[in-house]
Amino acid sequence: MDLGLEGGFAEPVLQSQTCFRAIMDALANPGTIQKLATPVTASGGLTTELVSTLLTLTDHDTSIWLDNATRSDRAVLDYVNFHTGAPVVAEPGKANFAFASGAAHLPPLDQFNLGTQEYPDRSTTIVLAVEALSGGAELIIRGPGIKEHGHISPVGLPGDFVAQWAANRELFPRGIDLLLVADGAVMGLPRSTRISEGH
């Protein structure tokens, strides 16, 4: 089967709407796990969750960054071009959306487009595939959309994630937003969220 042409949503309108709602709910309710609609199959280095978010969020007007391992896969580039037409950029700072197949392939957060004071919404939204959305070291989250505080424990974040995120949070209203994906689901961490290590 040619993954460049196959492997999109079986019901594109319904499934992309389902995914979009899950992503919006994940960002509105940081730290919660929202179920994604999954495509027929993944493509190359892209997990099914990365493909779901890519099909939902991107089109020919949205520039995307793919990590080096994924971007060097011709099948992935054909897939993206066929299903979304989104232009793929090599520089993280020029991307509307970034897709990383793992923390080891993700540049420091401050290399992405952090937006401007006038247009903070022009920053990059990063979609990071992690090993699991729970079961790792506990982190405490606070901020808009979270009652008092919440607890998250994703597996597969960058080693210095808490420090990187604190620097990102200080840029508010600028800064990147982060979507973590695994196990057919998504967790949102908008730039307004404060994250600290649990005890």
Taking the C-alpha atoms of residue 185 and residue 7, their distance in angstroms, rounded to an integer, is 18
Spell out the residues 6+ positions from residue 176 whose beta carbon is closer than 8 angstroms to its own.
Answer: 109, 112, 113, 114, 123, 124, 125, 126, 168, 191
How many Cβ atoms from other residues are within 10 Å of residue 93's Cβ?
13
What is the reported pLDDT for 113? Answer: 98
What is the reported pLDDT for 154? Answer: 98
Taking the C-alpha atoms of residue 78 and residue 66, their distance in angstroms, rounded to an integer, is 13
Give the residue among 135, 134, 55 at the shortest CA–CA distance from 99: 55
How many Cβ atoms from other residues are within 10 Å of residue 10's Cβ?
11
- The token pair that represents 133 in the structure block: 């959305």
1 pLDDT exceeds 50? Answer: no
Mean pLDDT of 97-115: 97
Spell out the residues 6+ positions from residue 101 whose beta carbon is closer than 8 angstroms to its own.
Answer: 45, 46, 47, 50, 67, 69, 70, 129
What is the reported pLDDT for 3? Answer: 41
187 pLDDT exceeds 60? Answer: yes
Q: Taking the complete model, does pTM exceed 0.95, yes or no?
A: no
Q: At what angle do helices 48-57 and 74-83 cross, to 10 degrees?
A: 40
Mean pLDDT of 174-186: 97
Give the residue among 174, 173, 171, 176 at the shortest CA–CA distance from 190: 176
Q: Over the stretch 4-56, which tens digit does the pLDDT of each residue have? A: 445 676 677 778 888 999 999 999 999 999 999 876 566 677 888 999 999 99
Mean pLDDT of 96-114: 97
> Per residue in 136-148, is it b (16+ CB within 10 Å) or e — as a string?
eeebbbbbebbee
What is the reported pLDDT for 198? Answer: 83
Q: Over the stretch 119-173, which tens digit does the pLDDT of each residue have? A: 999 999 999 999 999 999 999 999 999 999 999 999 999 999 999 999 999 999 9
Domains and their CATH numbers in the chain: 12-197 (3.40.50.11310)
